[in-house]
Structure 1
Amino acid sequence: MTDGIHTEPGLSEGKTYRLKLVCVGSGSAELEFVPANAGTAATVPCDESVVQQRVTADELVRINVAGAKGATGVIAWQIDAP
């Protein structure tokens, strides 16, 4: 998880999307959005549970997910349009 996820997906301005994340391994990862009001920051546990967040694309959105200290595993993500 040293690289995490850092992406600027091509979302249409003014639309709302659903981000799904799952982490498999140990520890956890931290989800953040830039700008912060595009979504809600969250902890993603690496226990195979799915974390879902609503993403609002009012401008260019950057999604960052980084493993917490000592976390190991793999993160998968998907963005769905409404």
Structure 2
Amino acid sequence: MEKQLTAQAQSALDSVTKQDESMVESGVERASDGMHTQPDLSAGHAYQLTVVCAGKGAAEITFTPRKTAASKTVSCDRSVVSERFTASRQVRIDTQAKPDASGMIAWRLNSI
């Protein structure tokens, strides 16, 4: 089941983002494990995070510092959620599954 959900999330992500020279990082994680990254970004530069969750329930995306971007919810129905932001000195991006959520989260961070 994980392979199938991973393929669904990855396919949805690939349909809306490019895996080219603008890609900074990407990955696929279990919703229950969450995504946790502190990428090496250039302060003052614009980036776009795109997240897809395949499965059931939802997960919350948070940015630290919080002024970077507002928290967002991504439904695990293969909906695509994107957030553009300007990087500060250090940015941490996390996802946390809501109760009873399960599935796979695919994500990609691009420079824009």
TMscore range, shorter length: over 0.9
SS of 1:17's equivalent in the other structure is strand
Structure with the largest fraction of helix:
2
State the alpha-carbon separation in 2 of the partners of residues 6 and 39 from structure 1.
Answer: 16
Q: State the Cα RMSD in Å.
A: 0.8
Which is greater in Rg? 2
More strand by percentage: 1
| Larger RCO (CA under 8 A, 6+ residues apart) | 1
How does the TM-score come out when normalised to structure 1? 0.95
Gaps of 5+ in 2: 1-30
Q: Which aligned segments of 4 or more residues in structure 1 are displaced greater than 6 angstroms?
A: none
1:37 is paired with a residue of what secondary structure? helix
Tell me the equivalent position of 1:29: 59
Aligned identity (percent) is: 44
**Structure 1 unaligned residues grouped into runs of 5+:** none
What residue is the counterpart of 1:47 in the other structure?
A: 77
Deviations 1:3-35 (A, max 9, x none): 101100111111110100000000000011000
TM-score, scaled relative to structure 2 = 0.71
Q: Output the amino acid matched with 1:65.
A: T
Counterpart secondary structure, 2:67: helix
- From 9, 29, 36, the equivalent of 2:39 is 9
